[in-house]
């Protein structure tokens, strides 16, 4: 059984396996509301995890595109104009900061 708390509209706001002071009722694990609660919680945790890794992935993709273009595998003109403009902006910003290497902490170990 799960202990649940509902808001004024009857919507679940908390579901726990152990009793807590605000719990107003108990529901079995196979109850559709309990199943939906945990499904949403899993989705939310996954979205938070993805969001927290976005900046790291942007850097990985930026580096990957730089390597592919420097090796002639990919031409910047192969990409849509909007992507070209964004990549050029990032390249210029990184070159500008190149002289400030003490201010930017890039890991020396590369994954790729």
Residue 25 maps to a domain: no
The pLDDT value recorded for residue 75 is 93
Tally of domains within the chain: 1
Q: Which pLDDT score, from 0 to 100, does residue 55 have?
A: 85
Q: How far is CA 13 from CA 5, 8, 47, 90, 95, in A?
A: 6, 10, 19, 43, 49
Question: Per the domain annotation, does 72 fall within a domain?
Answer: yes
pLDDT 10s digits, 39-56: 888 778 887 888 889 888
Q: Among 53, 66, 54, 60, which residue's Cα sits nearest to residue 95?
A: 66
- Measured from the Cβ of residue 35, the count of other Cβ atoms closer than 10 Å reads 12
For residue 103, tell me if it sits in a domain.
Answer: yes
- Say if 87 falls within a structural domain: yes
Domain of 107? 54-112
| pLDDT at residue number 103 | 47
CB 31 within 8 A of CB 52: no
Query: Within a domain: residue 49?
Result: no
Position 6 in a domain: no
The stretches in the chain having pLDDT less than 70 are 99-112
Give the total residue count for the chain.
112
What percent of the chain is helix, strand and coil (3-state, nearest 5)?
A: 55, 10, 35
Q: What's the pLDDT score for residue 44?
A: 82
């Amino acid at each position: 059984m799960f202990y649940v708390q509902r808001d004024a509209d009857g919507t679940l706001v908390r579901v726990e396996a152990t009793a807590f002071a605000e719990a107003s009722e108990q529901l079995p694990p196979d109850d559709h509301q309990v199943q939906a609660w945990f499904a949403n919680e899993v989705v939310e945790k996954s979205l938070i995890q993805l969001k927290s890794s976005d900046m790291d992935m942007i850097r990985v993709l930026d580096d990957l595109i730089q390597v592919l273009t420097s090796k002639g595998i990919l031409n910047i003109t192969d990409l849509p104009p909007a992507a070209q403009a964004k990549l050029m902006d990032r390249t210029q910003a990184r070159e500008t900061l190149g002289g400030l290497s003490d201010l930017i902490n890039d890991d020396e170990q590369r994954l790729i």
